[in-house]
């Protein structure tokens, strides 16, 4: 009977893991990556047998589910290498899903390690590791200045259009709206509240 329960449990883990593998990949923060901070914390929690290591990454209301998954995973890990690997993946899926839900972001499966996350996220992590924010500030300042200048030049070049050419006027208006919205987003990002995740269904072009 015990063996049958274990087999059933492992089968359910395999199904959950398979679903994660075939979900579409979207642009996202690194918290859903196999080399991201949530999975790394989950790995440490399992190796140390200390669930508190991962609980800090989920909201209080989700602690019960994480604790239950943690205990089940520790038990299944003892059944052998394959069971250990499968159980670990189930636990990773669980904590990443709950972490993202707590931040209001959709769960789209675990992403492979080594993804190209762009320069900003690695620079932010490096700043924390080194204890210096100067390189991060330099990176973001340069990027924002370049973006502002590019939008400004494009809008200015289209501003002096033939007033009798409606299409040219619409082209200017489009550039103007994009320019104004761009600087507005920059200002709000710098001065407004920080959210856990940006809406990943939106295509916010901040280049």
How far is Cα 6 from Cα 66, in angstroms, rounded to an integer?
19
Show which of 52, 70, 102 is a domain's final residue: 102
How far is Cα 204 from Cα 202, in angstroms, rounded to an integer?
6
- Non-local CB neighbours of 88 within 8 Å, separated by 6+ positions: 42, 43, 46, 73, 77
Per-residue pLDDT band at 44 (split at 50, 70, 90): very high
How far is Cα 27 from Cα 137, in angstroms, rounded to an integer?
23
- Please tell me whether residues 15 and 71 are part of one structural domain: yes
- Please tell me whether residues 94 and 153 are part of one structural domain: no
199 within a domain of the structure (yes/no):
no
Show which of 73, 102, 131 is a domain's final residue: 102
Structural domain range at position 177:
120-191
202 within a domain of the structure (yes/no):
no
Q: What pLDDT score does 90 carry? A: 96
Q: What number of residues does the chain have?
A: 207
- Please tell me whether residues 86 and 145 are part of one structural domain: no
Tokens of 185: 């987003």
Backbone phi, psi, residue 165, to 5°: -100, 100
- Please tell me whether residues 8 and 39 are part of one structural domain: yes
- Please tell me whether residues 91 and 151 are part of one structural domain: no
Q: What pLDDT score does 195 carry? A: 62
- Please tell me whether residues 66 and 131 are part of one structural domain: no
How far is Cα 107 from Cα 96, in angstroms, rounded to an integer?
8
Q: What pLDDT score does 116 carry? A: 86
Can you tell me the mean pLDDT for 50-54? 96
Q: What pLDDT score does 115 carry? A: 86
Q: Are 8 and 16 in contact (CB under 8 A)?
A: no
- Please tell me whether residues 6 and 82 are part of one structural domain: yes
Per-residue pLDDT at 189 exceeds 80? yes
- Please tell me whether residues 52 and 137 are part of one structural domain: no
196 within a domain of the structure (yes/no):
no
Q: What angle do CA 98, 23, 65 make, to 5 degrees?
A: 20
- Please tell me whether residues 53 and 145 are part of one structural domain: no
204 within a domain of the structure (yes/no):
no
How far is Cα 145 from Cα 182, in angstroms, rounded to an integer?
12
- Please tell me whether residues 80 and 147 are part of one structural domain: no
- Please tell me whether residues 69 and 8 are part of one structural domain: yes
pLDDT, tens only, 110-124: 998 888 888 888 898
Q: What pLDDT score does 61 carry? A: 96
Total domain count for the chain? 2
Q: What pLDDT score does 197 carry? A: 52
Higher-confidence residue: 207 or 63? Answer: 63
34 within a domain of the structure (yes/no):
yes
Share of the chain above pLDDT 90, in %: 64
- Please tell me whether residues 128 and 97 are part of one structural domain: no
Q: What pLDDT score does 24 carry? A: 34
């Amino acid at each position: 009977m015990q063996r049958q329960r274990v087999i059933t449990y492992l089968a359910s883990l395999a199904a959950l893991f398979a679903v994660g593998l075939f979900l579409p990949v979207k642009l996202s923060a690194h918290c859903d990556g196999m080399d991201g901070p949530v999975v790394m914390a989950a790995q440490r929690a399992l190796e140390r047998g200390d669930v508190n290591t991962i609980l800090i990454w989920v909201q209080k209301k989700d602690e019960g589910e994480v604790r239950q998954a943690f205990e089940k995973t520790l038990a299944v890990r003892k059944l052998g290498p394959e069971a250990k690997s499968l159980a670990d993946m189930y636990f990773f899926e669980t904590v990443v899903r709950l972490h993202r839900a707590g931040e209001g972001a959709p769960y789209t499966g675990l992403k492979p390690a080594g993804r190209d996350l762009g320069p900003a996220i690695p620079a932010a992590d490096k700043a924390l590791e080194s204890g210096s924010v100067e390189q991060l500030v330099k990176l973001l300042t340069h990027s924002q200045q370049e973006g502002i200048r590019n939008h400004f030049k494009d809008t200015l070049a289209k501003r002096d259009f033939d007033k009798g050419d409606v299409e040219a006027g619409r082209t200017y208006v489009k550039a103007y709206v994009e320019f104004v919205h761009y600087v507005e987003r920059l200002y709000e990002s710098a001065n407004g509240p920080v959210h856990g995740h940006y809406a990943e269904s939106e295509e916010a072009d901040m280049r």
